[in-house]
């Protein structure tokens, strides 16, 4: 699992795929990615969207139980010229020594708020959505 995380951080989809079953499924808030083509597509999107990409273990770190493991960490990088940092939790399911399924959970709205902070119109749009979501709290 730590090798896979390292592959994500260094944008090495070939090595990452060698750690996975052929029919791997990676579910993320951005979409679901299946098999070699899906995983490569997600890696390419990350490389094009986020620069200075860094993964730092945080919170509970890695928790393992049987053929499942959970990894709490922080991702930081630069999106649209703005520095962003957000917590993420990934749930891994293994089949033998290969990753069979991966689910990543993170707050897309937090990323949008941070990435749009230097731009007037996107910032206004994101803040309007956040205000509506928090109405009544």
CATH of 2-106, one of 3.20.20.150, 3.10.450.50, 3.30.300.130, 3.30.499.10: 3.10.450.50
Which of the 8 DSSP states describes residue 118? T
**Whole-number Å distance between alpha carbons of 45 and 40:** 9
The 10s digit of each residue's pLDDT in 90-102 is: 999 999 999 999 9
44-84 residue pLDDT tens? 999 998 999 999 999 999 999 999 999 999 999 998 888 99
pLDDT of residue 7: 95
For the chain, what's the residue count? 137
Instruction: Read off the pLDDT of each residue in 26-31 and give the average, rounded to a whole number.
Output: 92
């Amino acid at each position: 699992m730590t090798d896979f995380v390292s592959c994500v951080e260094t944008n090495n989809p070939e090595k990452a795929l060698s750690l996975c079953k052929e029919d791997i499924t990676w579910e993320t808030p951005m979409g679901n990615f299946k098999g070699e083509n899906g995983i490569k597509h997600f890696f390419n999107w990350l490389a094009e969207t986020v620069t200075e990409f860094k993964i730092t273990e945080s919170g509970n770190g890695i928790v393992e139980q049987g053929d499942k493991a959970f990894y709490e960490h922080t991702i930081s990088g630069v999106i649209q010229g703005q520095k962003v940092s957000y917590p993420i939790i990934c749930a891994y399911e293994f089949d033998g020594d290969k990753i069979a399924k991966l689910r990543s959970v993170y707050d897309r709205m937090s990323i949008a708020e941070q990435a749009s902070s230097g731009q007037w119109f996107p910032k206004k749009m994101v803040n309007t959505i956040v205000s509506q979501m928090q109405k009544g709290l």
